[in-house]
Amino acid sequence: MNEMETVVDRFLRYAGIDTQSDENSDSTPSTAKQLTLATMLVDELKELGLQDISMDENGYVMATFEGNTDKETPVIGLISHMDTSPDFTAEKVNPVIRKNYDGGDIVLNPEKNIVLSPADFSELLNYKGQDIITTDGTTLLGADDKAGVAEIMTAISYLKEHSEIKHGIIRIGFTPDEEIGRGADHFNVKKFNADYAFTLDGGQIGELEFENFNAALATVVFNGRNVHPGTAKDQMINSMQVAMEFNSLLPQAERPEHTSGYEGFFHLIDMSGTVEKTKLRYLVRDHDMLRFEHRKDQLKKAAEWVRLNYGEKAIDLEIKDQYFNMREKIEPVYQIIERAEKAMKTCGVEPIIQPIRGGTDGARLSFMGLPTPNLFTGGHNFHGRFEYIPVQSMKKAVEVIVEVVKGRLV
């Protein structure tokens, strides 16, 4: 398949559009600039001759690529998100193609001495001799998930040009606000009308994921009592000190920096406070539902300890479930994972089946009635200045998409 240039050209064009989402916004999409890419994709889908093309009031783009076979085939969905992470600046993204990577340091920005080095990111050495797209060191790249968008569009273009490749109905979906956890909020599963789907939102070449964390957000507010420190004995309750005591009650080894694989964690993501009032926010994560519930119980027991020692009004704890492990919904239709495995091996890609240590739109969509595992895009180091993606991995992603949608269900 000679689609390498096409997928790169598409990616570079999409990457140049700032589509950063904003968790502080209440609108959908959270930023109007996401609609710039959405509108562009609608126009390109029309140029490709797809049907049922729509962009709703929330910025969700959907389209249908009609099948060309009389055989009974499932309706397969392909989904990627258009927004980029708010974790790092996405203004004036300037992708740079590094030809024939030699295995050494890549100087992203000579003026600022910003270097992408295999000493820090050893997986770079896996791509020696390949072409790598990097940032210029001042922004993120946006391969998460504009690489996925480009790969889907390129695969559809290839199928359009090669009608001899038989396939069933393919549904396309591009979503806003995935990076702030809202990508599935207004996704119309009934309208999408697929039997199952794949998100193109994974990392390194070969990734195939159908397990993810069960997730909750815990917000803890500590209410103190402020008096003059000169007369504070037995009167002051310093809410910041109480918050630190609360945090010390949680297992220190069960934090993101100390865990991997199937190990869950408590992740303190935000803290602010005064003597009078302090607020902490935690991400609570575990693949196993029983351990996930136990983690929430640990938070509740820590809160009870605070109440016992500082009074009933000393703490307010709120725990909100965010999403659940999609494995429960994928296992009954495990043939879709077998289909993806077979497609990868046919394309010369070794499947890497591993749990996602994070979330995905596919998890929520699976619980909304659309089983949606996740496929690789090829990118690395998402959400920051050291993000990169090998061109050859993008090409393989296109090949895998084409292979996945061919023929009968396994």
| 162 and 148 inside one domain | yes
Q: Is residue 180 part of a domain?
A: yes
**Which residue range(s) make up the domain with 311?**
214-323
**pLDDT of 351 above 70:** yes
Token reading at 209 = 């994921």
Q: Which of 323, 353, 373 is the last residue of a domain?
A: 323
| 305 and 329 inside one domain | no
Q: What is the CATH number of the domain that holds 283?
A: 3.30.70.360
Place of tokens 């902490």: 280
| 150 and 111 inside one domain | yes
Do residues 141 and 87 make contact, with C-beta atoms less than 8 angstroms apart? no
**pLDDT of 410 above 50:** no
Per-residue model confidence (pLDDT) at position 252: 96
| C-alpha separations of 305 from 107, 180, 222, 234, 382 in Å | 52, 33, 13, 19, 39
Per-residue model confidence (pLDDT) at position 409: 46
Average pLDDT of the segment spanning 376-391: 97
User: What is the residue-averaged pLDDT of the chain?
Assistant: 95
Per-residue model confidence (pLDDT) at position 358: 81
Q: What is the pLDDT of residues 127-164, one digit of tens each?
A: 999 999 999 999 999 999 999 999 999 999 999 999 99
pLDDT band at 408 (very low <50, low <70, confident <90, very high): low
Token reading at 91 = 């203004």
Per-residue model confidence (pLDDT) at position 72: 87
Phi/psi for 33 (5° steps) reads: -65, -20
Q: Which of 323, 351, 380 is the last residue of a domain?
A: 323
| C-alpha separations of 264 from 291, 325, 332 in Å | 8, 12, 25
Contacts of 350 (CB under 8 A, 6+ apart): 206, 344
| 94 and 46 inside one domain | yes
How far apart CA 86 and CA 23 sit, in angstroms, is 8
Inter-axis angle of helices 335-346 and 391-404, to 10 degrees? 130
Per-residue model confidence (pLDDT) at position 181: 87
Token reading at 178 = 């995935």
Q: What is the pLDDT of residues 85-142, one digit of tens each?
A: 998 999 999 999 999 999 999 999 999 999 999 999 999 999 999 999 999 999 999 9
Token reading at 332 = 């009954």
How far apart CA 46 and CA 339 sit, in angstroms, is 29
Q: What percent of the chain has pLDDT over 70?
A: 98
Q: Is residue 409 part of a domain?
A: no
| 260 and 372 inside one domain | no
Q: Is residue 57 part of a domain?
A: yes
Q: Is residue 309 part of a domain?
A: yes
CB atoms within 10 A of CB 220: 23
Per-residue model confidence (pLDDT) at position 30: 98
Average pLDDT of the segment spanning 40-50: 97
Place of tokens 């009650």: 249
**pLDDT of 1 above 70:** no
Do residues 370 and 77 make contact, with C-beta atoms less than 8 angstroms apart? yes
Query: Is the torsion defined by CA of 325, 326, 332, 335 positive or negative?
Result: negative
Q: What is the pLDDT of residues 263-314, one digit of tens each?
A: 999 999 999 999 999 999 999 999 999 999 999 999 999 999 999 999 999 9
Per-residue model confidence (pLDDT) at position 360: 82
Q: What is the pLDDT of residues 216-229, one digit of tens each?
A: 999 999 999 999 99
Q: Which residues are catalytic?
A: 83, 178
**pLDDT of 2 above 70:** no
Do residues 154 and 6 make contact, with C-beta atoms less than 8 angstroms apart? yes
Q: Where are the alpha helices (DSSP H) in 312-374?
A: 327-330, 335-346, 361-367
**What is the DSSP secondary-structure string of 187-246?**
--HHHH--SEEEEEEE-STTEEE--B-EEEEEEEEEE-B---GGG-TTT-B-HHHHHHHH
Q: Is residue 172 part of a domain?
A: yes
How far apart CA 257 and CA 267 sit, in angstroms, is 9
Q: What is the CATH number of the domain that holds 376?
A: 3.40.630.10
Q: Is residue 410 part of a domain?
A: no
Domain count, the chain: 2
